[in-house]
Amino acid sequence: MNQTVVSFLAQYEFFDFLTKIFGENSLLLTTLIFLIFSVAFVAVAATIGGLGTYAERKISADIQMRMGPNRVGPYGLLQFLADGVKMMMKEDIMPRTADKFLFYLAPLLCLLGVFATLAVLPVSSGFTLTDLNVGVFYLIAISSLVGLGVFLGGYASNSKWSMLGGMRGASQIISYEIPVTLSVLAITLLSGSMSFGKITDLQAGFITNWFVFHNPFAFLAFIVYFVGAMAETNRAPFDLPEAESELVSGYHTEYTGMRFGFFALAEYIEVFVVSAVAAALFLGGYNLPFHISIDFLPIQFVQLSILVGKALMLYYVVIWARWTFPRLRVDHLMSVCWKYLTPIAIFNLVGCAVWMVAFNGQSLAQLIFGH
Amino acid sequence: MFLNTLFVMSALLTVVSAVLVLTTKNIMHSCVFLLGSLIGIAGLYATLGADFVAATQVMVYVGGVVILMLFAVMLTGGKDFVSKAQNLMGLAPTMGNAWTYGVSALVGLVFLFTNIQLLTRLGTMSKLKNDGAFESTVNKIGHLLVKDHILSFEISSVLLLGALVGAAIIARPRKQ
């Protein structure tokens, strides 16, 4: 049975009070709770995405010894709000020859794909919207909507820059899904489950229980996952779909105002999502380094901040990589995926399977230090 | 009750998108509506407790098939492909012979009777136990795949490998 936020809240006393008002198994109550939590998730994710643009500019400024945004609000923190207001005030231009329906749909598909992944994001043991049995699989599946949005955005604009960018984006996202999925499969093999909750619970305890340190193959799988995820989210050095030196701005060249904002926001939220997934699958997720009873409600917020903290550290690495490495060439990009990452990922998968059989599922630390 | 509502929403999405696939003139738009229909079917699977099948549906169709279809449509004409030949009623009589019409009539009859059978049982089917407490199907599917159905699993993987190698050979530049 799938654990959801509703079934988590049902164990507390105030829930009895709510069931008295709404009645047992009420449709309204379930919908309401899901609605409140979904809106909260989306709002927080959008804020993180917005702050991501600020962090990107600030960190890049730091790397290049500049100041970065520092006028709007303390340390320029409110810069992203000003940007958002500016984007909303802008004129909404659509090229005359564009495919109207697809042009409007594409940014929304991008956002939909990213927001749909939030449903299984394991932010804490209770507040996860729903802990699906096939959570990891669902997340990989639904995030391919982003690729579709990128592709349709490029196609619908009816401009050659956009078209090239969209085609590059679609082929890149489809290609890099393979090493990413194979690396995730290695973790599924180690944990014997596709549910985020169970995968995270298996990593409870000290740092040596994290799957990234489980065996050497899992460590490699983490690196392959991270590189692949960076390419899947179109981040530099893999940002060929929007390579501004060759394609103006790639698939969103023709988009103005908030429609462009949707693409940008989707990208930044997706980076956060893949960082959080990396944290949950490889870096112990929301677990505290010591055992504690999770029945106490404020613990949920501690777990929440632990996961978000880990995700933001990886987020920093993604931004850091963007301002450090030069962009790849298209043929290099494809050969990195198909000739290097995919064989390495398959090797990791087989290696993990052999490790599980050879050492009876024990991790490296267990073998060295005993139990 | 919650699942029933979601089921009805998924069913509506499936049916409305399927109708739009047929009625729209632009083939790219058809592809996008087909996407909605396939997602709706995934929703139907999910609300009926087949979580793994639902995720696979999204994985295979949304992530693979629809993108490939869009690529194929775009590379073979895109929106200029708005077909004048979609005048089905005018063209239908010339598109087959007695044999094809006979077969399609038979298929139509089977479909009709199956639907009548299903519809007459509607009252009893809605009384199925449906409290949201479905068992997970993933473990069972995994065990069945590598134990009872290992042969068919391997045969299909060899088939897919053949398709992959075949595609690579076709796409390979010819040596003069």
CA–CA dist A290, B111 (Å, integer) = 60
Alpha-carbon distance A112 to nearest alpha carbon in chain B (angstroms): 12
| B162 belongs to a structural domain | no
On chain B, the residues whose CB falls within 8 A of the CB of A353 are none
| B155 belongs to a structural domain | no
Task: Please answer yes or no on whether A148 and B67 come within 8 Å at the CB atom.
Answer: yes
Q: Residue B110's pLDDT is what?
A: 95
Q: Residue A1's pLDDT is what?
A: 44
| Identity of the residue in B5, B79, B131 whose CB atom sits nearest the CB atom of A99 | B79
Q: Residue B89's pLDDT is what?
A: 59
Task: Please answer yes or no on whether A174 and B78 come within 8 Å at the CB atom.
Answer: no
Q: Residue A371's pLDDT is what?
A: 60
Angle at which helices B27-47 and B2-23 cross, to 10°: 160
| B90 belongs to a structural domain | yes
Interface of B with A in 98-117 (CB under 8 A): none
A299 burial level (CB within 10 Å; 0-12, 13-18, 19+): middle
Report the run of H or E that residue A3 belongs to, with start and end: strand A3-4
| Identity of the residue in A133, A138, A167 whose CB atom sits nearest the CB atom of B136 | A133
Provide ipTM, 2 decimals: 0.79
Alpha-carbon distance A146 to nearest alpha carbon in chain B (angstroms): 9
Q: What is the number of domains present in chain B?
A: 1
Q: Report the 10 Å Cβ neighbour count for A16.
A: 9
Q: Which of B67, B19, B18, B74 is nearest to A113 (CA)?
A: B67
| Identity of the residue in A132, A133, A141 whose CB atom sits nearest the CB atom of B62 | A141
Q: Which amino acid does the sequence have at B1?
A: M
End-to-end CA distance of chain A: 32
Q: Is the dihedral of CA A316, A317, A318, A323 positive or negative?
A: positive
Whether B162 has its CB under 8 Å from any CB of chain A: the answer is no
CA–CA dist B63, A175 (Å, integer) = 11
| B113 belongs to a structural domain | yes
Count the residues in chain A: 371
Task: Please answer yes or no on whether A142 and B58 come within 8 Å at the CB atom.
Answer: yes
Binned at pLDDT 50, 70 and 90, residue B126 comes out as low
From first to last of its 371 residues, chain A has per-residue pLDDT tens of 457 777 777 777 777 777 777 766 667 777 888 888 889 888 988 888 888 888 888 888 888 888 888 888 788 888 888 888 888 888 888 888 878 888 888 889 888 889 988 888 888 877 788 887 888 888 888 888 888 888 888 888 888 888 888 888 888 888 888 899 999 988 888 888 888 888 888 887 777 788 888 888 888 889 999 998 888 888 878 887 777 777 777 788 888 888 888 888 888 999 999 999 998 888 887 887 776 666 677 777 888 888 888 899 999 998 888 888 888 888 888 888 888 989 999 999 999 889 888 888 777 777 787 76
Vertex A234: Cα angle to A230 and A239 (nearest 5):
110
Q: pLDDT tens digits for B52-100?
A: 888 888 888 887 888 888 888 877 765 555 555 555 556 666 667 788 8
CA–CA dist A53, A56 (Å, integer) = 5
Q: What is the CATH number of the domain that holds B122?
A: 1.20.120.1200
Q: In this structure, are residues A150 and B69 in contact, taking their beta carbons and an 8 Å threshold? A: no
| B24 belongs to a structural domain | yes
pLDDT, average across residues B121-136: 59
> Can you name the residues that pair with A3 across neighbouring β-strands?
A131
Coil, strand or helix at A131? strand
**Structural domain for B69, as ranges:** 2-134
